[in-house]
Amino acid sequence: MTTKERRSETRLAEETTLQIQAYSTPEGQQDPSRLKAAKTVDISTKGMQIQLGVRVPVKSVMQLSMQTKHRPKPYVLTGEVRWTYQDHVDPKRHFVGFRLIENDQGSDNQEWQHYVDARLNNKA
pLDDT value at residue 123: 66
pLDDT number for residue 34: 77
pLDDT for res 124: 58
The residue range of the domain holding 96 is 3-120
The predicted model scores a pTM of 0.86
Q: How far is residue 8's CA from residue 87's CA, in Å, rounded to a whole number?
A: 23
CA separation for the pair 86, 55 (Å, rounded): 7
Number of folded domains in the chain? Answer: 1
- Which pLDDT score is estimated for 2? 45
What does each of the 124 residues of the chain score in pLDDT, given as a tens digit?
344 445 577 899 989 999 999 899 999 888 877 777 799 999 999 999 999 999 999 999 999 999 988 889 999 999 999 999 999 999 999 999 999 998 778 899 999 999 999 998 986 5
pLDDT at residue 56 in the model: 92
Q: How far apart are the first and last CA of the chain?
A: 33
CATH number of the domain that 28 lies in? 2.40.10.220
Give the three-state DSSP class for 6: helix
